[in-house]
Structure 1
C-alpha cells in the first residue's frame, strides 16, 4: 500500500469536496437552462443577466473548493483530480456565458435553428452531469461510465450540427460576411461548452477506472 493510500485509510477524509463538485454541476445545468430561455423567446439581455448570475454562483463554489484544498491534508480523491474536475466544470459555465455575451456583442436577438439545437444538447449534457456527480461520492462507478458514454454521444451529435451549419454558412452565396461572423462566434461558444461537458465526462470515466 502506497504511503498516501495508507494515510487516507488511517485519517478520516473530507467528504464535502464531493458536495462542491455537485454544486458546480448544478450551477452549470442552471446556467444552461437559463440560456434555454433564449430559445423560448426571452430577450437576450435578460438571458445574459440570468446566466451571469449562475456563473458567479459557480465561481463562488470554485473559490470555496480551492480554499478548502489549502486547509485540508487528506482528500477523498487526489487533490489534482478534484482541482481538474472543478476547473472543467467551471469551463462549461464560462463558455455558456460566453455564448450569451457573443449574442449581445453581435446583435443576435433571435437564435437560429442550429443554435436552438445546440442549446438543447447543452441542456441535456449538463443535466447528465448534474445527475452523475453525486454518484462519484457514492462510488457508483458504473453510473459514471454510463453518463460518460451518454455525453460522448451527445457531443458527437452537437459536432455534426455545428459542422453542417458552418458548411451551409460558408457555401450559401446569399449569406453575407457579417452574418457568417455573427453566427460562427455563437455556434463555436455553444459547441465548445458542449465539448467541455465531454471533457468532464472523460475525467469521470478516468476516475471510475482509477478507483473502481
Structure 2
C-alpha cells in the first residue's frame, strides 16, 4: 500500500519534471516572435530548457538505479518521465524548424496547437501534484482532459492541412507548413502518451 504520510522522492522528481516542461511550454507560447533574431533567441532558450530537462531525467535514472525500493514499478516511473520529456523535446524541435525555415508568422493553427499543448502540460502538473499526495484515482480526471486536448489537436491538423492546400500556392511553403503542423500534432500525441501512462499507473496501483 502507498503510505499517504509524506511525498515520495520519486513522485517529487516527477513533479519537478512536469513543472519544468510546463514552464518551458508557457515560455514558448508567450514569446512574441517578430523578427528572425526573436526566432534565434527563443530557439536558444528552448535548447537550454531541453538540456536542463535531460539533466532532470538523468538524475531520476540515477536515483532509480541506486534505490532498492520504489513506490510504484520502476518502468512506470521511467516511462512517465520520458514521455513528459518527449513533449519538451518535440517543442524544441518545432521551434528549431521555425528558425531553420525563417518563419516568423505563427498562424492561427499553430496557435491552436500550442494552446492545447500548453493546457495539457497544466493538466500534467495537476496530475503529478496528486501523485505526490498519493491520490491516484483523482489523477484520472486530468488524464481524460489531456486526451480531449489531443482530440482537438487531431481536428486542428485535419483542418490546417485541408486549408493549406486550398489557400497556399507555393509548394515549398506547403511542405514547410505541413511539416510544422505535423510536428505539433506529434507533440500533442506525446501529451496523450503521458495520459495513457498515468492511467496505467492508476490501474496497477489504485
Corresponding position of 1:93: 88
1:202 to 2:196 alignment: yes
Task: Give the unaligned 5+ runs of structure 1.
Answer: none
Corresponding position of 1:27: 20
1:47 to 2:38 alignment: no
Corresponding position of 1:139: 134
55, 65, 69: which one aligns with 1:60: 55
Distance in 2 (alpha carbons) for counterparts of 1:175 and 1:29: 36
**Secondary structure class of the residue paired with 1:84:** helix
Aligned length, in residue pairs: 201
Distance in 1 (alpha carbons) for counterparts of 2:33 and 2:43: 13
Distance in 1 (alpha carbons) for counterparts of 2:126 and 2:49: 18
Task: Tell me the alpha carbon deviations over residues 136-159 of structure 1, each in whole angstroms, 9 at most, x when there is no partner.
Answer: 132212321000110111100011
12, 16, 19: which one aligns with 2:9: 16
Corresponding position of 1:110: 105
Corresponding position of 1:122: 117
1:153 to 2:148 alignment: yes
Contact 1:31 1:96 in 2 (8 A): no
Choose 42-51 or 82-91, whichever is displaced more.
42-51
Contact 1:26 1:130 in 2 (8 A): yes
**Secondary structure class of the residue paired with 2:51:** helix
Q: If the length of structure 1 is used for normalisation, what is the TM-score?
A: 0.88
Q: Please identify the structure whose Cα radius of gyration is greater.
A: 1
Change in CA separation of 1:47 and 1:37 when aligned onto 2, cut-off 3 Å: farther
Task: Give the unaligned 5+ runs of structure 2.
Answer: none
Contact 1:59 1:90 in 2 (8 A): yes
Distance in 2 (alpha carbons) for counterparts of 1:129 and 1:170: 34
Task: Tell me the alpha carbon deviations over residues 50-89 of structure 1, each in whole angstroms, 9 at most, x when there is no partner.
Answer: 2112111211100001111111110111111111111111
Contact 1:108 1:182 in 2 (8 A): no
Contact 1:37 1:47 in 2 (8 A): no
Distance in 1 (alpha carbons) for counterparts of 2:71 and 2:103: 44
Report runs of 4+ in structure 1 exceeding 6 Å deviation: none
Contact 2:18 2:121 in 1 (8 A): yes
